């Protein structure tokens, strides 16, 4: 039997942390290929910090307002991640833009979940953007983080219908259910080595294509 080492993951949050909770829950399974070893937030009052602590995960609150510059905050965060021997960073509702240096330092080792089917509807208010555009399908995307906002290689996507009478809150709630399934699945693909970066694309092994094809946007 081959016992492979679990990759060490930090989750960065700014708010309630429901995606963080879905990752923590998934990682409690003995055969999940990643372990969540740190949760950090730029907001000391982020609700997710208490939830992480209750789950026994070490937490750090680095108040970005306490740092003189973006680079100083990013440097402090980077030091925390390095000290915890982090292999992969998962952004989960982390609502702060990084300096180019931080993104460079974690290139190929940092993923994000975004509440739209990228490359549509980057930035904030994605559900309002989708309603204004009149799309019939909307959804969420897990992607690698690159310097350009919401633009990195796509790991996985899930779509939901936009229904008559939907407002932004109804759409957000329908998509959040999918986010909570998609992010743990995408992290598992990366952590197990079944999904990997190849230039500006994510490629998948055949095994994963057979097992999880329905979930994924396969683009080898
Ligand atoms: C999620 O919907 C996530 O996709 C979104 O913020 C929400 C966080 O919720 N992220 C972004 O908009 C990133 N640009 P959560 O704190 O309950 O996970």
Average pLDDT over residues 74-102: 97
Q: Which of 46, 91, 115 to mutate to test the pocket of ligand 1 (most atoms within 8 A of CB)?
A: 115
- Ordered by start, the domain boundaries in the chain are 1-106
Q: Domain spanning 1-106: which superfamily?
A: Formyl transferase, N-terminal domain (3.40.50.170)
Average pLDDT over residues 45-73: 97
Indicate whether this model's pTM tops 0.95. Answer: no
Average pLDDT over residues 128-151: 97
Q: Give a three-class secondary structure readout of the chain.
A: CCCCCCEEEEEEECCCCHHHHHHHHHCCCCCCCEEEEEEEECCCCCHHHHHHHHCCCCEEECCHHHCCCHHHHHHHHHHHHHHCCCCEEEECCCCCCCCHHHHHHCCCCEEEEECCCCCCCCCCCHHHHHHHHCCCEEEEEEEECCCCCCCCCEEEEEEEECCCCCCHHHHHHHHHHHHHHHHHHHHHHHHCCCEEEECCEEEECHHHHHHHHHHCCCCC
Q: Would you say the CB of residue 113 lies under 6 angstroms from ligand 1? A: yes
């Amino acid at each position: 039997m081959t016992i492979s080492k679990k990759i060490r993951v930090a989750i960065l949050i700014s708010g309630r942390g429901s995606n963080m909770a879905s990752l923590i829950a998934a990682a409690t399974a003995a055969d999940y290929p990643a372990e969540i070893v740190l949760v950090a937030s730029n907001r000391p009052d982020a609700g997710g910090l208490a939830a992480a602590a209750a789950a026994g995960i070490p937490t750090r609150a680095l108040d970005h307002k306490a740092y003189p510059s973006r680079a100083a905050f990013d440097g402090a965060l980077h030091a925390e991640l390095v000290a915890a021997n982090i292999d992969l960073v998962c952004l989960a509702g982390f609502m702060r833009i990084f300096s180019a240096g931080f993104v460079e330092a974690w290139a190929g080792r940092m993923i994000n979940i975004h509440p739209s089917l990228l490359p549509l509807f980057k930035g904030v208010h994605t559900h309002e953007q989708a309603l204004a555009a009149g799309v019939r399908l909307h959804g969420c995307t897990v992607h690698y983080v690159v310097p350009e906002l919401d633009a990195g290689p796509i790991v996985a996507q899930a779509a939901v219908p936009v229904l008559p009478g939907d407002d932004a809150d109804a759409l957000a709630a329908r998509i959040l259910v999918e986010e909570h399934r998609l992010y743990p699945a995408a992290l598992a693909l990366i952590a197990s080595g079944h999904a990997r970066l190849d230039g500006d694309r994510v490629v998948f092994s055949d095994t994963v294509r057979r097992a999880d094809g329905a979930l994924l946007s396969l683009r080898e």
